[in-house]
Structure 1
Amino acid sequence: MHLVDSHSWTRQRTEVDLRLLADRQTTVAHCPVTFSRSGMALESVGRYRRAGVNVALGTDSYPFNMLEEMRQAMICARLSGKSVFDVATGDILEAATIAGARALGRDDIGRIAVGSKADFLVVDLRHHAMQPVYDPLRNLLHCAAERAIERVYVDGTCVVSGGRPTLIDYDGALAKLQEAQDYACRKAPANDPKGRGMQTLAPLSLPMAGPGRA
């Protein structure tokens, strides 16, 4: 995580870094879910944008859910900015789309326009989490999230339909993923310098019920 000089965690109390980032046309890759669950937050998306810094959203690691990143970015911005007006819902959509394309120097992605790649998703406006419909984007980010997504298209190809990927053996992939994790857990003591098992390295949040236990 990058901390500018004006961040509350630094000892500096200057306001130089944001101006330098803007002057040099720097893009900040903001991955709010990963960092906020570790107790860190950008201060703030709205302040960076107002300073002229291009802020693009990313996922960094699991769960790779851009809608969740958008929601978290909005919440974190308003908390750290101490204002519901720190960033608008439309600003977050731009950070997730056009700002990312701008960071890559591309004008054929991040927007629906003639000459751009057909990257888009289809939202079910009749989904119960989208009701009642007045501002669809707010409903999607504040309430429904991925639950209301019908299909996802990348360059014109449907890659997700009804919540399931269309280009892979989904059930087979899940089985292989679980097998890989089970193997890694079994090998943990052998790979740990202190011989610790998973119960020590990553204790479960809740105890598991064993045979004969309710």
Structure 2
Amino acid sequence: MSHEQPQDLPQIIIPDVILADVVNKPPQQPQNPPTDMDVTIAVNYHAATYDSYGRGEVSDELYSAACNYRVAVTAQKDSKPFAPAPPWVYPVMYKVLKPITDDISDIKDMLTRTTRTSAKLHNLEVGRGNRTTFQVVPFANGADPTQLPHRLPPLFDFNTVQGLSDVERTAYYQGYFPGTNLPDPEEQTNRILLAIGWRTE
């Protein structure tokens, strides 16, 4: 039974400058794809050329060619195609990973709720935020309003909330109350304050 040479990888051609090397023994033509021995020979030839180059015995062109040859042989050895996974693997992996994915999602939701509750409790205790600034309360979807893609100004205190522009106030309101009708500006501000845990003194 004959073994056909793989056709998916281009044949590596040893440069003439390497074949003409009289200082170090040039490597033989590698297999396609390269074998472990071909890789070993390429690495050893590169190492020998490196030593010779350091002593000024070989040219820049030869040393550069030796470097490129080693890279080419190693890259083709590592690019051998892997056999595809059998069809039954994917349903099994999904069955195994689905509970883990669900658990991770539940943990993220729990962390979001915990972060929101902690920040709101803090803000509840600091009044207008004159002495201690407010903490950031994540949006309903868990996103930080001060980070991408929102990049809204942090709500440090009562006055910061009052000073939001129309665009910023609307963005905050829609982040805390998604899917609801947009009330008038004063009501938006009041509900934003409520969403971050602020209370009147």
User: TM-score, with normalisation over the residues of structure 1?
Assistant: 0.21
By relative contact order (CA 8 Å, sep 6+), the higher-ranking structure is 2
User: If you compute each CA radius of gyration, which structure gives the higher value, 1 or 2?
Assistant: 2
Q: Select the structure that is richer in strand.
A: 1
